């Protein structure tokens, strides 16, 4: 694991966590850009597979009524 390969590593720090304690250790949030995009795609596919009421609730609650299709 090289922290500089993480999707969240920007401007020499983690853009996700307030603490930058992932240097030299295993970070539970570490993902490459490719792994991050794949995870986003899978999450979107799962949301879109739900029944209309659940799907609309999630999109409204967590995405402000708009969801980006990758």
pLDDT, tens only, 4-22: 889 998 888 888 888 766 6
Q: Are residues 70 and 42 in the same domain?
A: yes
Give the contacts of 9 (CB within 8 A, at least 6 positions apart).
3, 15
Same domain, 46 and 58: yes
Nearest by Cα to 45 from 32, 55, 56, 60: 55
Q: What confidence tens digit (pLDDT) does each residue in 16-67 have?
A: 888 766 665 577 888 999 999 999 999 999 999 999 999 999 999 998 988 8
Q: Are residues 54 and 68 in the same domain?
A: yes
Q: What is the number of domains present in the chain?
A: 2
The parent domain of residue 22 ranges over 1-31
Global pTM value: 0.72
Question: For residue 35, what is the enclosing H or E element?
Answer: helix 33-49
């Amino acid at each position: 694991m090289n922290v500089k390969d993480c999707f969240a590593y920007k401007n020499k720090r983690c853009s996700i966590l307030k603490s930058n304690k992932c240097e030299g250790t295993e970070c539970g949030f570490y993902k490459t850009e490719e792994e991050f995009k794949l995870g986003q795609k899978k999450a979107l596919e799962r949301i879109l597979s739900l029944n209309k009421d659940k799907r609309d609730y999630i999109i409204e609650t967590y995405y402000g009524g708009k969801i980006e299709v990758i």
